[in-house]
A and B are shown apart, each in its own frame.
Chain A
Amino acid sequence: MRKYETGFILSPQLSEEEIRDFLSGVRKFIEDSKGLVIQEEHWGRRALAYKIGKFHEGNYYFFSYEGEPFIPKELERRFKQSEKVIRFLTVRMDDYLKKVEKMKKIEEKKKEKKESDREKSEISFEKLEEEGKDE
C-alpha cells in the first residue's frame, strides 16, 4: 500500500452536476480498487497562473488516498482520455513522509543532546521514540 495525492483541474465549462459526477466517479474507482480515500480538497473555481489551452480558469480538486500503484496509473490514463480534465499531477507521499520522519529524528537527537528536556506535544511519534529509549 502506498500513499498518493492526485490533483486535477477540471474544465470551467462543466456544470456543477457534471463535476459532482466526475468526483464521485474518481472516489468510486479508488474505493472499488481496494484503495482508501484519506482526504479530499475541493478548491473550486480558481484563476490559472497562465493560460492552458483556451482556459483562464479551472476547478481544482485534490484527492489523497492509499492503495496499490495501479490506481494512480489507471486514474491518469482516464484523465488523459477525458476532455474534462485540463491538467493533473500525482505525487507519491509515503517516500516523502518517510524522509521527513528521518530528518525529524535526526533533529530530535541533536536537540536531545543539547537540551535534554524540551518536549513538543504537537508531534506524537516524538513521544513514541522517547518511550522506546526509556525501555
Chain B
Amino acid sequence: MSKKETQTQTRRFFSPRKKFCKFCAEDIHYIDYKNVPLLEEFVLDKGKILSRRMTGTCAYHQRRLASAIKKARIMALLPFLPE
C-alpha cells in the first residue's frame, strides 16, 4: 500500500508535511459549535467547509465538525455566505 501511495504522490503535487487529524491529535472528543476560532480553521473565507482531503481530518471528526459548523451558522457565529 505504501508503495502505491508514494507512486501517486510523486506524480502529483503534494505537501511535504503529512496531514493529520487535529481533533485526534489534541484529544478533542466533543466539538463545540460555540468554539468559533477552532471552527474557523476549517472554513474558507467564502464560508465553505473544507474537505477532509484538504485538512486531513478523520471521517469521525469530519462528521462532527460539519454538524458543529452548521449549528454555528444557525446561531450567526459563522457566515453562510461571504458578505
Contact = CB atoms under 8 A, between A and B. Distances in A.
26 contacts: A7-B75, A9-B75, A41-B34, A49-B73, A49-B78, A49-B79, A49-B80, A50-B76, A50-B79, A50-B80, A50-B81, A50-B83, A62-B34, A87-B74, A87-B75, A87-B76, A89-B71, A89-B74, A89-B75, A91-B33, A91-B71, A96-B30, A100-B30, A103-B29, A103-B60, A104-B29
B77 interface: yes
Interface string A75-119: 000000000000101010000110010011000000000000000
A44 B79 CA distance: 19
A62 B80 CA distance: 22
Given A50-B81, A89-B71, A103-B60, A58 B30 contact: no
Contacts, number: 36
B13 to A, nearest CB: 33
A14 interface: no
A1 interface: no
Which interface residue of B29, B79, B81 has the most chain A CB atoms within 10 A?
Answer: B29
Interface of A: 7, 9, 41, 48-50, 52, 58, 60, 62, 87, 89, 91, 96-97, 100, 103-104
Interface size class of B (residues with CB under 8 A): 10 to 19
Given A89-B71, A91-B71, A103-B60, A49 B76 contact: yes
**Chain B at the A interface: mostly helix, strand, loop or mixed?**
loop
A98 B17 CA distance: 35
Nearest to A88: B75
Nearest to A120: B27
Nearest to B73: A49
Nearest to B72: A49
Contacts of A62: 34
A104 B23 CA distance: 13
A28 B48 CA distance: 40
Smallest CB-CB A-B distances: 9 pairs: A48-B76, A100-B29, A49-B79, A49-B76, A100-B30, A89-B75, A49-B78, A50-B79, A89-B74
